[in-house]
């Protein structure tokens, strides 16, 4: 776990627009994208690594599964930071009822992208906040429409290496942004952290 304060490059002070509470804010995530989004919001926070990803909770529907996984992350970090307000998050992609997490290798990433291109899919992110025995959870859904791609497009994207640590095998904030035709809902949810929903939840703990 890192104890260093996270602040945006070029910012001399952080903003209290996002988090107005007195307790320290901790993000229970090793995702650089989630860290970057909280920095973008000007939040003052530290990062706690919740450890390896847990398996999907049985036959849970996406909205319930991502909440359970986010809560597990927040609880693990909160156990070592009892005075903090701890935020956990987990994201999954769903296409035609099939859940797509992070690909294990490039072959799996290519298979995922073949499922996604030319179709509409859902991105679900679960949020969880834990503080001194109190907790709350929420789930955010965004619909993404991806353009139809050639096999060369898919192979070149996978060869870039961007796929491997992202749910569904693509990063909308990176090279794959050029493949996205439309988004219905929170763009930041697709990146991995719906800022508006999280800010509203944090108000209950301020």
CA distance 94 to 144: 10
Q: Which residues contact 205 (CB under 8 A, 6 or more apart)?
A: 21, 23, 85, 129, 131, 134
Q: Which of 49, 90, 105, 165 is catalytic?
A: 90
Whether 90 is catalytic:
yes
Q: 173 with 128: CB under 8 angstroms?
A: no
List for the chain the helix, strand, coil content (%; round to 5): 35, 25, 40
**Phi/psi at 10 (nearest 5 deg)?**
90, -10
Catalytic residues: 90
């Amino acid at each position: 776990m890192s104890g260093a304060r996270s602040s945006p490059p070029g910012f001399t002070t952080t903003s209290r627009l996002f988090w107005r509470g007195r307790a320290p804010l901790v993000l229970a995530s090793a995702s650089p994208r989630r860290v970057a989004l909280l920095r973008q919001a000007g939040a003052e926070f530290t990062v706690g690594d919740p450890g390896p990803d847990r398996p999907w909770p049985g036959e849970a529907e996406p909205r319930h599964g991502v909440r359970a996984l986010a809560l597990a992350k927040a609880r693990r970090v909160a156990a070592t930071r009892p005075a903090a307000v701890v935020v956990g998050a987990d994201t999954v992609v769903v296409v035609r009822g099939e859940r797509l997490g992070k690909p294990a290798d490039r072959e799996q990433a290519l298979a995922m992208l073949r499922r996604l291109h030319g179709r509409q899919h859902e991105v679900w992110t679960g949020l969880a906040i834990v503080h001194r025995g109190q907790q709350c959870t929420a789930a955010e859904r965004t619909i993404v429409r991806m353009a139809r791609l050639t096999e060369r497009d898919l192979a070149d994207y996978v060869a870039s290496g961007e796929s491997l640590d992202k749910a569904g095998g693509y990063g909308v904030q990176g090279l794959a942004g050029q493949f996205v035709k439309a988004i219905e809902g929170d763009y930041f949810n697709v990146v991995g952290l719906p800022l508006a929903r999280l800010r509203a939840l944090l108000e209950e703990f301020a």
